Structure 1
Amino acid sequence: MEKTICNSSHSKEEIQPLRYLSRAEALAIDKELLEEFRFGHQQLIEIWGHACAMAVTKVFPRRSLQRKQPTLLVVCGCEQNGAVGLACARHLRVFEYEPTIFYPKRSSNPLFRDFTTQCEKMDIPFLSYLPAETQLISDAYNLVIDALLGVEATPGELLEPFSTILATLKQIRIPLVSLDVPSGWDVETGTSDGISPDVLVSLAAPKQCATRFVGKHHLVAGRFLPYDVQKKFELNFPEYPGTDDVVSL
């Protein structure tokens, strides 16, 4: 499945297909950014975290939330996607939302630990456990951000506590926002055993599994990518509006 869109770098008559990346292609873009363009790992996470926070504010402006308090829950894994979730939570706090973080298995990576410290210093609360009764989550938060798994994860090989967390997320009835790859999905084929998010925020470019996304909002955070990278991988992004760093598909 391919989605066709107009790219501002081409004439209006020329239609280019939006590229959906395989796992290998997604990792190749990361490698290109880190090794050829000398982006820092922490820098990329910061860019993505900010873009994800912007996506949340666009889809869920504070004035539109059902609850008086703009509360939301960010569920973070121990790999890169979890670090993006931490950065996202911090930016949402700056935007005057009230995030709470569930981060059950903290990474030993010092770069990721920095994001944890930043959240703690900004007085963002961390849950000690995730309620198994999802009604408790619905009663406390307006939405949940899924930053549990990412490109690195293999759904069939999930260990605890992630398999239990995934089972809880699948029962969530308030809006669910997934970062890059919905947890429980295979990066390329997708899966019927994963969660069903209302919003998907693809990092850099959509992954092949995104062709199976049926939620209400799919946004891409790839504006920061150098033109040479966009051209090399034939990403064919739609035009980003104004100065926005995310675009809706």
Structure 2
Amino acid sequence: MQRTAAARLSNILNTVSNSKRPLAVTNTGFQKPPRPVVGISNRMSFGIKTLGAQEAIELDKELMGSAGYSLDQLMELAGLSVAHAIYKVHPPSSGGRILILCGPGNNGGDGLVAARHLWHSGYKPTIYFPKKGKHEIFERLSTQLQGLGIPFTEDYKTALKETDHIVDAIFGFSFTGTTIRPPFDEVITAMKSSPLPKTSIDVPSSWDIEHGPPPSGPGEGFSPDNLISLTAPKHLVKYYKGRHFLGGRFCPPGLEEKYGLDLKGLYKGIDQIAELPRIED
């Protein structure tokens, strides 16, 4: 089943204040509970833990609860990380036209923020955003892009032929099931068929967060050239063989420890992203 942005945002925002797992504030800012036992299947070969859907949802809730972040802040930092990753893999000299395919959930918001940062970095982004989320943040982000003259298109087929790089910001980790509703079923099929380089945000659209690529349907055989995981990689990355980045440099140490993450020293200097080793067969 495909969750809408409104459903996901409502779930997160309504449960932040009464989360069942609050962190007690201490002199370091967070309680330090015992480190959870992490199965080897949930840790990448080079030591970084991966998250499943429920853990990713709970971590989002705590970031917007005890950690004090707003949804705007998290989208801004995530979108900035995405823009940095795209600049790394596809500098403007490789072609400045960037098509960002946005869905109605948080991934779509991250894509809109990335578009703004890419414009300021010399790119020419175009947005395909057929189903805007109902939360007012999407309207504000769209207004910001319109103020920069960034075009929105309804013709993704033509846009796919008039770009240099495709950003997949359609579905995130809240996507479950195998049914992809219009228009995104045809959009994913067209994106998959394009020979252009592609970068997916957090989750390649249509992939299952636990089990990776779908065995059938529009996303069958889809694997982007680049993936930028946000906050922490998800379980699906064990099936991913392309270039892989981690972004979202905002998780406080208390939550890193609570969720078994070990990100200390991963980011260098003021970098917003860190490239992770490829997973070999």
Return closer, same or farther for 1:24/1:151 CA change in 2, 3 Å cut-off.
same
> Secondary structure in 2 aligned to 1:145?
strand
2: CA distance between counterparts of 1:172 and 1:203?
25
SS in structure 1 of the partner of residue 125 of structure 2: strand
**Amino acid across the alignment from 1:178:** S
Residue 222 of structure 1 and its aligned partner are, at CA, apart by: 3.3
- The AA in structure 2 aligned to 1:19 is K
Verify the 8 A CA contact 2:77 2:249 in the aligned structure 1: no
Alpha-carbon distance, 1:62 to partner: 1.7
Shift of 1:4: 4.1
Equivalent position of 2:51 in the other structure: 21
- The 2-side partners of 1:106 and 1:239 are apart by 35
Deviations 1:191-226 (A, max 9, x none): 2443210000001110001111111x1000132111
Call closer, same or farther: CA 1:246–1:180 in 2, change over 3 Å: same
Task: Please say if 1:199 is aligned against 2:229.
Answer: no
CA distance in 2, matches of 1:27, 1:95: 31
- Quote how far apart the aligned CAs of 1:155 are: 4.5
Of 238, 241, 261, the match for 1:235: 261
Give distance in 2, aligned partners of 1:129 and 1:223.
Answer: 35
Work out the CA distance in 1 between the residues paired with 2:205 and 2:177: 8
Partner amino acid, structure 1, of 2:123: Y
Query: Is residue 57 of structure 1 aligned with residue 57 of structure 2?
Result: no
Instruction: Pick one of 249, 254, 270 that aligns with 1:223.
Output: 249
CA RMSD, aligned part only?
A: 1.5
Does the Cα contact within 8 Å between 2:77 and 2:248 map onto a contact in 1? no
1:130-149 correspondence runs (5 A): 130-131=156-157, 137-138=160-161, 140-149=162-171
Asked if 1:153 corresponds to 2:160, the answer is: no
TM-score normalized by the length of structure 1: 0.88
CA distance in 2, matches of 1:239, 1:190: 25
Determine which of 203, 206, 213 is the counterpart of 1:181: 203
Cα offsets for 1:22-43 (capped at 9, x unmatched): 0001011101101111210111
**TM alignment of 1:74-223, pairs within 5 A:** 74-131=100-157, 137-138=160-161, 140-192=162-214, 193=216, 194=219, 195-215=222-242, 217-223=243-249
Q: What is the match of residue 13 of structure 2?
A: none
Corresponding residue SS for 1:170: helix
Aligned residue pairs, count:
229
Give the SS at the match of 2:227.
strand
Give every structure 1 segment of 4 or more consecutive aligned residues whose post-TM-superposition deviation is greater than 3 Å: none
Fraction of identical pairs, as percent: 34
Structure 2 counterpart of 1:240, which letter? Y
Output the CA distance in 2 between the equivalents of 1:47 and 1:152: 19
TM-score of the superposed pair, with normalisation by structure 2: 0.78
1:12 maps to none
Check the 8 A contact 1:224/1:245 in 2, yes or no: no
Contact 2:160–2:191 (Cα < 8 Å) also in 1: no
**Aligned partners of 2:107, 2:119: CA distance in 1, in Å?**
18
2:91 and 2:188 mapped to 1: Cα distance? 27
Distance in 2 separating the partners of 1:33 and 1:42: 12
Shift of 1:152: 1.5
Listed as ranges, the gaps of 5+ residues in structure 1 are 6-16
Q: Following the alignment from structure 1 to structure 2, what is the Cα–Cα distance between the partners of residues 21 and 221?
A: 14
What is aligned with 1:42? 72
Q: Distance in 1 between matches of 2:175 and 2:145?
A: 24
In 2, Cα distance between equivalents of 1:151 and 1:157: 15
| Secondary structure in 1 matching 2:171 | coil
Name the aligned partner's letter for residue 53 of structure 2.
R
Question: Unpaired segments of 5 or more residues in structure 2?
Answer: 1-40, 277-281
Deviations 1:114-158 (A, max 9, x none): 111111111101112211x7xx724x2111000011112224132
